Structure formats: C-alpha cells, structure tokens
Structure 1
Amino acid sequence: MLGYVIKRLILGLLVMVAISAVVFGLTNSAADPAQAIAGEGASAADIEAIRVAYGFDRPIVERYGVWLSATLHGDLGTSYRQKRPVLDIVLERMPVTMTLGCLALTFAIVLSLPLGVLAALRPNSWIDRLCLGLALLGQAMPTFWFALLGIVVFSVNLEWLPASGSDTLLSYVLPSIALGYYGAPAMMRLTRAGMLDVLDADYIRTARAKGLRRPTIVLKHALRNAILPVVSIAAVQFGFMLGGSIVIETIFAMQGVGYLAWESISLSDLPVVQAIVLLTSALYVLLTLFADIVNAWLDPRIRLA
C-alpha cells in the first residue's frame, strides 16, 4: 500500500510541474505584464521602464524558474492591483468557495446514490426511466440557466431564499443546488451501472441463498463494490465544482475564489490568476490522489496490480 501511495504521489508532483509551466506560459503570453501594471494611460517609456524593473525583458524560461522557485517557498507574488501578497488574497476568499464546493458535492451525492441504487433495483421500470430522465435533464441543463431559474422562483417569486451574498447558510442553498445538480448525473449513472453488474455476481446470489435480508445485501455487499468508480468521479466532480464555481459565484455575487478569478482576469492581474489556477489544480491533483488511495483501500486488487 505504501509503495502504491508513493508512486501516485510522484505522478501527482510531475503533473503539478507540468501544470505550473503551462499556467505561467499562457498567462504571460495572453497579456503584457508591464502593461497590466502600468495601466491603460501609461506611456511607452513608462511601460518599458516597468518591464526592465520587474525583469519582464528577460527570457520567459528564466522568469519561470524564478517564479517556480518563489512558489515552492510559498511566495506566489504580489497583486498588481491590490499591492498585497497574492496568497493572502486567495486565502481570504477560499472559505466561501470551499463551503460552496462541499455543500454542492454533498447535495450531488445525496441525490445521486439513492437514485442510482433505486434505478438498479428496478431496471427498465418507470422508476428507472424517471431517474435516467432526471440525470439527463441535469446533464443537459446549463448551470447558469438553472441558477437563474432558481433565483426567479425561490428568491423573486416565493422570497424563500436570498438571491445573492454569502453571509448566511441560506445564501448557499441555491448556489449549492445549482452547482451540485450538474455533477449528480454522472455519479447516478455510475452507481446504477455498478449496481447492475454487482447484483448479478455469484457472491450476491450466495448471500441471497443464505437468507440475508435485502437491505444487508444491497448496502453491505453490493453497494461497497459498486461505489468504487463513484469515489473517483466524486473527487473529479469536486475539483470541477471548485474550478467551475466562477459562473455560480458571479451570478450569486459570492465573494469566493471563482469571483476573484473573474475580477483578476478582467483587470489583467496575472499573479492572482496564476495563483488561483495553480492552487485549484493542486487541490484537484490531491483529490484524485485521495480517491485512488480510497479505491485501493476498498479494493486490494488495485494496489496489488
């Protein structure tokens, strides 16, 4: 098990190095850092002076090496606009995004697992078709449209929930549902497919022949093996929710990392954009590593392979 974890950890580090190179290259080629610092009304001489002062005139490979070294020491740079350390700015907004992501993932799991199990227990029935229809609707419906629909119904017409902000727990209800409903269909279909395969296995027939109760067979024997791919997809979906929260946070005016990313892109604040993409990617890699470890713990065949 330890060897398996070490291999996955080394692979994750290599992925992060590749991501850092891509992020630095794209952000520095998409906009001129000197122009972003100087502002729109700056003269050519001022822009050139800033370029020399900040070292933007040096080769991009050399600049990447300096930036990567500083990043490894915990220095993600200084915001061009706020003149503050980037790490402090991102960490101030992180609790909102993490809370939103955790609540959205919880909603997706609570919705998808029971529907997937129920659909597998009644294949080709109206219950199965209803569950698949809900999954198809969630996959096809744009997140921003579902969020706006929720605001119109529950905030404007019924006045049950807040339409914006992140001050109270109620403010997270609509954003979490809008973000989580998009991730639920994939987990529901995987749960259904896994349960259908497992329910036809020999050990399930043996459990039935021994006279075990149906809830015990479904929850203890079948679901444990059917849930293996769901663990992996849940980690992936959580990463997507954190990285894709920019739309939801913008619609609901939530001061999270997603909204900060939108502000930084609009203002060409490149250090903040680099830090957000890098930290989100690192969290995504860690989630994938965690999912692999959990799967290896649940199924010894994975780590033995």
Structure 2
Amino acid sequence: MAKYVFHRLLVALAVLFTVALVSFSLLHLSGDLAAAIAGPEATAEVIAQIRVRYGLDQPLATQFGHWLWAALHLDFGRSFYFEHTVMELVGQRMPVTLKLGAVSLLLALLVAIPLGVLAAVFRDSWVDRSAVMTAVLGQAMPNFWFALLLILIFAVGLKWLPVAGNATWQHFVLPAIALGYYAMPSLMRLTRSGMLDVLNADYIRTARAKGLSAFHVIVKHGLRNAIIPVVALAMVELGFMLGGSVVIESVFALQGLGQLAWDSISRNDFPVVQAIVLIIAVFYIVLTFLADVLNAALDPRLRAR
C-alpha cells in the first residue's frame, strides 16, 4: 500500500509541475506581457520600464524559477487591476466557489444514486430507459445553455429564485442545479453498473433466500458495496466542478474564483490568472490522489499493480 501511495504521489507532483509550467508558458506565448500590461497607447519607454519592473527582461527559465519558488510560498504577487495581493483576492472568492462545488456535488449525488439504483433494480424497463436518457441528456447539454434555461423558467418566468449574486442561499440554488446536473450522469452510470454487478452476486441471492425484504437486500447489502467506487468518483467530480465553475459563475454573477478568473482574463491580469489556474489544478490533483488512495484501500487488486 505504501509503495502504491508513493507512486501515485510522484505522479501527482509531476502533473502539478507540468500544469505550473504550461500555465506559465501559455501566458508568455500569448504575446508581449509588458505591452499588454501597459496598454495599447503606451510608449516604448513605458513598456521597457514595465518589463524591468516585473522582471520580464530576464530569461524565461529564470522568470519561471522565481515564480514557482514564490508560488510554493503562496506569494503570487499583486493584481495589476484590483490593486490587492493575489492571495487576498483568492481568499475572498474561494469560499463562494467551494460552497457552490459542495452544494452541486450534493445535489448530483442525491439524484444520481437513487436513479442508478432504480435503473439497476428495474433493468431494461421504462425506469431504466428514463434514467439512462436523463443521464445522456445531462452529459450532452451544455451547462451554460442549461443555466440560461433555468434562469428563464425559474427566475424570469416564475420569479421563484434570484437571477444573480451570492447574498443568500437562494442565489446558489440555480447555479448548483446547473453545475450538478452536468456531474450527475457519470455518477448515475457508475451506480447503475455497480448495482448490476452486486445484484448478481451470491451473497445477494443468499440474502433473498433468507427472506429479507427487498429494501434490506438492495440498500444494506447491495448499495453498501456498489457505492464504494461512486465515492471515489465523487471526489474527482468535485475537482471538475471547481475547475468548471468559471462559466456558471459568470452566468449567475457569483463572486467566486470562476468570476475572478473571467474578469482577470478580460483585463490581462496575468498574476491572478496564473494563481487561479494553479490553485484549481492543486485542488483537482489532490482530490484525484485521494480518490486513488481510497480505491486502493478498498480494492487490493489495485495495490498489486
């Protein structure tokens, strides 16, 4: 187990270093950062001063080394536009994104697990086909289009929920539904396939032969074992949600990391963009690593690889 965890940790660190290198390189490949910071009407003298001020006159390898060392100490510099340190901005916006991700995942699990169980129990019935159709629709539908549809129906038409902002819990309902519906299909399919495998197992037939109720057999004996990989997948999906919240937060004007990333990209605020990309990558890599460790702890076959 220790060897497996160490190997996965090395892979996670390698992925994190690659993400840091790519995020740093893409911003520099996008053009002259000094000219972008100075603005279109800046003179060559002003651009040269900015290049020296931010260390952009140094070799790229030196710039990357300085930036990576500072990032390891959670120092991403100051925002060009907001006139605050990057970590201050991230600290202010992070709770909104984490709250949105947690609520979205909870809604996805509350829908996906019962649907997956019902689809497996009533295999090849209209219940199964309806659940699969719901999953396919959720994966095929763009989440921004679904978000706009929710706004038109529940905010503009019925006026049940607010359109934008994050002042109250009602402001998180529509964004959480839009983001959670996109994660629901994979969770539902995995629950369904796990339940189908479990329901054909010998111990399930033994439990039924003992005269246990259907609910007892399905929930206590079946779902209890089938849900193990779903928990690991849920951790990975949470990482996807944190990274994919940019669109949803922009649609609903939630003041989270996604909205901050969008504002920073549109204003060429490069330190903020780099920090958000790296922080979201860290969340995703850590959650993926924990999911791998959990799977290995529960399945000895993975530890033998």
Name the TM-score, length of structure 1 as normaliser. 0.95
Aligned residue in 1 for 2:257: 257
Number of the residue aligned with 2:209: 209
* Residues 22, 252 of structure 1: alpha-carbon distance in 2 compared, 3 angstrom cutoff: same
Choose 185-194 or 166-175, whichever is displaced more.
185-194
| Paired position in structure 2 for 1:72 | 72
By how many angstroms is 1:251 displaced? 0.9
- Contact kept, 8 Å, 1:8 with 1:289, in 2: the verdict is yes
* 1:3 Cα deviation from its structure 2 partner: 4.0
**Whole-Å Cα distance in 2 between the matches of residues 69 and 110 of structure 1?**
42
Deviations 1:207-257 (A, max 9, x none): 323333332322233223322332232222211111111111111111110
- 1:159-179 residue CA offsets vs partner (Å, 9 max, x unmatched): 110011000000000000011
Mean Cα deviation higher: 254-263 or 72-81: 72-81
CA RMSD, Structure 1 to Structure 2 (Å): 1.6
Matches within 5 A, 1:108-127: 108-127=108-127
For residues 33-75 of structure 1, the C-alpha deviation after alignment (integer angstroms, 9 at most, x for no partner) is 2123322221112102211232212221111011111111221
Cα distance in 2 for residues equivalent to 1:22 and 1:304:
33
The residue identity in structure 2 corresponding to 1:43 is T
User: Is the contact between residue 36 and residue 80 of structure 1 (CA under 8 Å) also seen in structure 2?
Assistant: no
- 1:227 and 1:64 map into 2 onto residues whose CA distance is 43
Runs of 4+ residues over 6 Å off in structure 1:
none
Q: CA deviation at 1:9?
A: 2.2
Unpaired stretches in structure 1, ≥5 consecutive residues: none
Paired AA for residue 199 in structure 1:
L
The answer to whether structure 1 residue 105 and structure 2 residue 101 are counterparts is no
SS, match of residue 77 in structure 2: coil
For 1:23, the aligned partner's letter is S
Aligned to 1:244, the other structure's residue is in SS state: helix
Measure, in 1, the Cα distance between the counterparts of 2:289 and 2:210. Answer: 38
Q: Distance in 2 between matches of 1:61 and 1:216?
A: 62
Per the alignment, residue 171 of structure 1 pairs with: 171
Q: Which runs of 5+ in 2 are unaligned?
A: none
Mean Cα deviation higher: 82-91 or 248-257: 82-91
Give TM-score scaled by structure 2 length.
0.95
Given the alignment of the two structures, is residue 279 of structure 1 paired with residue 267 of structure 2, yes or no? no
Alignment of 1:28-67 (within 5 A): 28-67=28-67
Residues in 1 aligned to 2:265 and 2:198: alpha-carbon distance in whole angstroms: 47
CA apart distance, 1:304: 4.5
The one-letter code of the counterpart of 1:64 is F
Superposed, 1:149-228 pairs within 5 Å as 149-228=149-228
CA distance in 2, matches of 1:86, 1:29: 22
Bigger shift: residues 111-120 or 201-210? 201-210
* Count of matched residue pairs: 305
CA distance in 2 between partners of 1:204 and 1:295 (Å): 23
Deviation per CA, 1:170-207: give whole Å up to 9, x if none: 00000000110111011111111111122112232233
- Of the structure 1 ranges 229-238 and 193-202, higher mean CA displacement relative to structure 2 is found in 229-238
Alignment partners' CA distance in 1, 2:53 and 2:125: 70
Cα 1:47–1:64, aligned 2, differ >3 Å: closer, same or farther? same
SS at match of 2:58: coil
